[in-house]
């Protein structure tokens, strides 16, 4: 890190498309309040398939773009919400840094705002942290048309709600993200992926055993009776772990993990209902028909199945988790696990506080919120 400049000044070529569209978007929200017409927030539209359908006037964030601050030496980056995710990844890569939560793009036009609004994290999540863990601060426009700033550019404890992290995974229902400040991390010096012939039961047991050991694990997934373990860190640590664990070294590992993260592998291609099921990592294979892909070292199960939604949700809940209908749904029914009454009331109270006129992505997560 000693060679990292304290502040990056972006060149004119990179800056030419940067634009602060805050005032225009604020005016559109105020107009929507006055006319009582709801808005659906959209950026690159790479994640339109997530959540429920919202049939409202579009508010496009893609023109609101640009990295406003980047301090590699301080591991801080601030960017406008419409900034393409790939531009941010490329900028960080130039300095040997990365977004440690490894967000999927699900499309070339993915934006930072959409990524944070949907709370997406990739295979590195159980070993590095989630998207929410890396959000330091946000600037938003709430449903009253007010521009507000929360958090800052350092990790610290706060009293009351940590609003910046509350916005992460709220699907734009509480506010339109204008800017996001993120903690970034150095890229690993070395990576290697090992492959083992294991059943799902064996893989879950083995990965959880490894999790208690001082190994540089950064991803673990299983499908088609194969367990894939990624090791990331210092060269000496990765090489030592490879020697200790054995297995077959995957030659095209970088391509494999990119396709896995972006769900481009054949195993993700299905016309069936595609579920995202979060459970404790030690949970045995779930008694559900269909094809299962295990991610996050056992903590995330992707399921392509014709099982009834209630069956999938009940099974996940019984295992101590929850299920989300991720894709291949009509967008009008329940997508997320139904909320318990007390939790639902909390969601309603938050919606009323941030968006009392119910104009920002109404119904995107739940029909009546």
Q: What does the pLDDT look like over 286-310, one tens digit per residue? A: 999 999 999 999 999 999 999 999 9
Give the strands of the sheet with 135-141, arranged side by side. Answer: 67-71, 76-80, 176-183, 135-141, 147-151
pLDDT of residue 162: 84
Identify the residue with better confidence: 8 or 163: 163
| 17 pLDDT higher than 90 | no
Q: Is 90 exceeded by the pLDDT of residue 3?
A: no
CATH for 12-186?
A: 3.30.465.10
What is the pLDDT at residue 6? Answer: 59
Q: What is the pLDDT of residues 31-71, one digit of tens each?
A: 999 999 999 999 999 999 999 998 889 999 999 999 999 99
pLDDT for res 2: 37
pLDDT for 169-179, tens place per residue? 999 999 999 99
- Predicted pLDDT of residue 154: 54
135 within 8 A of 166, measured Cβ to Cβ: no
pLDDT score of 72 more than 80 = yes
The CA R_g of the chain, rounded to the nearest whole Å, is 21
- pLDDT band at residue 151, thresholds of 50, 70 and 90? confident
What's the pLDDT tens digit per position in 341-369?
Answer: 999 999 999 999 999 999 999 999 999 88
Would you say residue 140 has pLDDT above 80? Answer: yes
What does the pLDDT read at residue 8? Answer: 60
pLDDT at 113 over 50: yes
Domain positions in the chain: 12-186, 189-327
Q: What share of the chain has pLDDT > 70, as a percent?
A: 93
pLDDT for 157 beyond 50 = no
pLDDT of 101 over the 60 cut: yes
Residue 12 has pLDDT above 50, yes or no: no
% of the chain surpassing 90 pLDDT: 91
CB contact at 8 A, 351 and 327: no
Predicted confidence band of residue 11 (pLDDT cuts 50, 70, 90)? low
For 217-268, the pLDDT digits (tens) are 999 999 999 999 999 999 999 999 999 999 999 999 999 999 999 999 999 9
User: Does the pTM exceed 0.85?
Assistant: yes
Check whether 273 has a pLDDT greater than 60: yes
Q: How does the average pLDDT of the chain come out, rounded?
A: 94
In angstroms, the CA 288 to CA 175 distance is 37
Structure confidence by residue, pLDDT tens digits, 309-336: 999 999 999 999 999 999 999 999 999 9
């Amino acid at each position: 890190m000693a060679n990292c400049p304290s502040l990056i000044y972006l060149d004119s070529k990179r800056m030419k498309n940067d634009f602060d569209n805050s005032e225009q978007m604020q005016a559109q929200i105020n107009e929507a309040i006055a006319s009582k017409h709801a808005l659906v927030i959209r950026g690159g539209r790479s994640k339109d398939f997530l959540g429920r359908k919202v049939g409202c006037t579009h508010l496009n964030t893609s023109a609101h773009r640009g990295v406003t601050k980047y301090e590699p030496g301080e591991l801080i980056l601030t960017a406008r919400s419409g900034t393409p995710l790939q531009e941010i990844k490329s900028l960080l890569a130039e300095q040997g840094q990365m977004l440690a939560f490894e967000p999927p793009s699900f499309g070339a036009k993915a934006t930072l705002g959409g990524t944070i609004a949907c709370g997406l994290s990739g295979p590195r999540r159980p070993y590095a942290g989630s998207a929410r863990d890396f959000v330091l601060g946000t600037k938003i426009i709430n449903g009253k048309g007010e521009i507000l700033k929360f958090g800052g550019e350092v990790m610290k404890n706060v009293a009351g709600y940590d609003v910046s992290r509350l916005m992460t995974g709220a699907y734009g229902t509480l506010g339109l993200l204008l800017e996001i400040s993120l903690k970034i991390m150095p890229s690993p010096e070395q990576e290697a992926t090992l492959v083992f012939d294991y059943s799902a039961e064996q893989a879950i047991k083995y990965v959880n055993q490894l999790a208690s050991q001082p190994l540089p694990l950064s991803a673990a997934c299983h499908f088609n009776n194969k367990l894939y373990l990624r090791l990331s860190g210092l060269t000496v640590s990765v090489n030592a772990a490879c020697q200790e664990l054995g297995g077959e070294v995957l030659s095209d590992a970088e391509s494999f993990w990119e396709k896995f993260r972006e769900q481009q592998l054949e195993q993700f291609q299905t016309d069936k209902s595609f579920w995202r099921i979060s459970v404790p990592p030690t949970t045995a294979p779930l008694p559900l028909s269909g094809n299962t892909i295990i991610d996050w070292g056992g903590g995330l199960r992707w399921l392509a199945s014709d099982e009834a939604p209630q069956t999938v949700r009940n099974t996940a809940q019984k295992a101590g988790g929850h299920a989300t209908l991720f894709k291949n749904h009509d967008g009008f029914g329940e997508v997320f696990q139904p909320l318990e009454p007390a939790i639902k009331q909390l969601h309603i109270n938050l919606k009323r506080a941030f968006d009392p006129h119910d104009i920002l992505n109404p119904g995107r997560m739940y029909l009546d919120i």
